Structure formats: structure tokens, C-alpha cells
Structure 1
């Protein structure tokens, strides 16, 4: 028996109208199934539509045509409030620039998503945040402000914040772009391990084929078209990044 995908994009397009009333087609007929526990990478150059696709995968925007299903339910059938609650509960975002709150400690940053939770998660928000920071190796940095943390530590806080509500889908947008190569590799290994332990699906959106190669399924987004690729083969043949 085939299991229903966690997230499905079926013939998804995204277009915008330009000031001269012409139409810019950003995404063109995207088809993608994301299973529970999947790890997918999507590579593409700047301007390829990665940010637009991220907003669709994260239940933020609606497609122009086509449809998006979460747990088999078309998103267009959900009210705005229901979609917002689903996104807050089931989707975790990790950004290149970390987006930590400057005036709050590492612990307070990780607790922030739980302020919108309910029941047990809300009342246990401090303990849950402490447990997640411990899992990413920052148990002794909980009281530190972001400006007192290294880049790698800030990214670990961002990972802990994204995972503290136990999301079923994790979206990592250029998660190592602001880090050196060694720290980036460590962060990606951590992210993959934590996602695997929690059973969450992980989608990494990146321009770096080395980061993309860490996933189990690889895609390229080029001029709005998403297609499967063999990143490991590309690396083995030393193709330049620009060819992605």
C-alpha cells in the first residue's frame, strides 16, 4: 500500500504581472512529492525562482495555477487562519541570515515559536527549548545573546528554534551560506541528524552542489522548471557551480 505524501505540488505555476502589464512566469509546472522523512535538495542560481518556490513549499503563498496538498488536503480549501496554524505547527524555517532576535537570549529565541503553541507545548515551552538547545550542543550557551555567539552557534540556535515545535517539514534556505566551509558541513550534518531522529521531511534550498549532495534526492530549478539531477555525478566530473 502506497503512503500518501506529506506534501505534493501538482502542476504548480507562479506568475506576476509587471508594470508594463506583461506577465513574468517564475515557476512553470512544478511537480513534487515529499514523503515523511524525505531529504530533498533543490539547487539553482540566483533568480531561478528558489525563493518563490520556498514560499509555496512553506504554505505562505498560493500558486497561480496547479495545486498544493498537505496530508492530501488541497490548501485552497483551507481558511487563512487554518493555514497559518498548520504552517506554525507543521513547518519549520531555517534561514541563511539566522534571523535571531537581537534582544533575546538563545533560550528566549528558541522559546519564541512556542508562544503561539497551545496546551502542553505552551506550558512546557522553557523545558522544551532547553531540551532542543541541548540536542544541538548549546546547553551552556542558553543565556548568551546572539552577538556573543559564533556564526555556527547562531545557526544552531536557528535550527533549535525551527525544530522546537517538532515540525513535520523543515525548509532550510541556504542554511550554510553565511558560514565557512567546515562550520557549514558540521551544521548540515547536525540538521540532517536531528531531522532524521524526529522523522521530519527536510528540503534544503541552496546554490551549493556540495550541500545539495548531502540529501537523498536532488533537483535543479532552472528558469522556473524543476527537474531531477545527479548531484554526485556532477561533483565527480567537477562541473562548475554556474552550470547548475
Structure 2
């Protein structure tokens, strides 16, 4: 059984004039533990809406969303928030670090909402995660003293410090140069594989998408598989998806 499963997921909103806008149209997706999947799509294709549903921020209009065979599409808000905090880690294009807090304090932030051993060991856990992403010497540095690549590494450490089972990376290298972006993705892929987390990268960049094992394209709310060779060709031609 797949760790994450979407079946027939739709998302429809009503416009001010009473018309209905179909953002997602019957999305099917399965992701296994430790698997890296990429979803590419242009602006307005529904990527953000799909991300919000995968991350338990939003709920589908219809269809099923399952983690470990457990349906989550109708969870109440409190239960959804707890599940998201425990099982989902987010990495965004904008690093969203607290500007006056050190790298260590930024990574400790999610653990303030943890319980038991995670809460009481929060400084040690945050330190270990920063060391894991190569920033053991920058624990006391604030974001303004870190490079873009280092800030993204802090953001990755913050997303992973609670040991999420699902990592959602939304344009994770969009604010980085090509070389730094490739380094950050290699790090993210390696850590996700080592921890057994499922990784979903949502991007318009075929070079980043090509790093995944399976590839999908979202177009006008419809999710379709894309062959690896097609992604590689898009990347070689410099096509933006």
C-alpha cells in the first residue's frame, strides 16, 4: 500500500459572479515511503492548490486523500493541524526565516510545538540537524549573515527537524543560482532518502524535476505522468514548464 494516495481529488471554488472554477480535476497520485516525485506546471496550473491539499492546509471538494490507508480529507481542523505538524515538512522558494533569530533558534521553532522528548531535547535535535546539513559552525548566525544557499539549508533543517514522513518542496531552488540550487537539491534528496521520507518537489524547472524518480505534469488542473526522457529533453532545451 502506498504511503500517500490521492484518488479523484477535485477542488472547485465559486466566483463572485456565481460561476464555478475547477482548479483540480480528478487528481490521482500515489507516493511510496522514501520516494521522490516531481510535479511540474506553469503558473495557474493548480500547483499551489495541490500543495495545500497534500500539506493538509486545504481540503478537496471531492475525492480521497489517504496517509497509510487512513482517509484524511474530512479531518476536523484541529486533527488536521496536528497531523500536519507531526508528519509534513514544508520547504519554500522564500526561506521564511525569522530575521532576528539565529540559525539554531529558527530550526528549534517547530519543536516548541512538540511534546515529550522532542520538546525537551529541542536544542540538541536542532543542533544535530544543522550539523547534518553542513551548518554546524553557523549555529549562532542570523539570516542576514548567511548566504542564500545557507539560508535554504537552515530552512531544510527546520522542515526536517521533527522527522516528517512527507516533505513538500515548493520551488525550493527558485531563489538560488544554478550551482547552489543543484547542491541544495542533492542535500534534500539525500536526507529524505536517509530518513525514509516521501519527497514531492513542485516546480516549473525541468532541471529540478529531472532529479526525481517519477515525474508528473499538472496542466489546467489535470495531473498526468511524464516520461523521464521528456523531462530531460525539456531541460536540455531550456524549456520552462
Q: Same fold (TM over 0.5)?
A: yes
Matched, 1:24 2:21: yes
DSSP 3-state at the match of 1:109:
helix
Q: Which runs of 4+ in 1 moved over 6 A?
A: none
Match of 2:97 in 1: 100
Cα shift readout 1:103-146 (whole Å, capped 9, x = no counterpart):
11000000000001000000000000000000000001110001
Unaligned regions of 5+ residues in structure 1, if any? none
Cα shift readout 1:178-225 (whole Å, capped 9, x = no counterpart):
000000000000000000110000000000000000000000001100
Q: Distance in 1 between matches of 2:38 and 2:207?
A: 10
Give the paired residue count: 240
Asked if the contact 1:13–1:63 (Cα under 8 Å) also holds between the matched residues in 2, the reply is yes
Name which of 178, 181, 203 aligns with 1:181. Answer: 178
Cα shift readout 1:45-76 (whole Å, capped 9, x = no counterpart):
11111000000110111101111111211114
Match of 1:241 in 2: 239
Asked if the contact 2:60–2:73 (Cα under 8 Å) also holds between the matched residues in 1, the reply is no
Structural RMSD (CA): 1.2
Q: Distance in 1 between matches of 2:221 and 2:238?
A: 20
TM-score by length of 2: 0.97
Q: Distance in 2 between matches of 1:219 and 1:76?
A: 22
Name which of 102, 123, 133 aligns with 1:126. Answer: 123
Matched, 1:56 2:53: yes
Unaligned regions of 5+ residues in structure 2, if any? none
DSSP 3-state at the match of 1:16:
strand
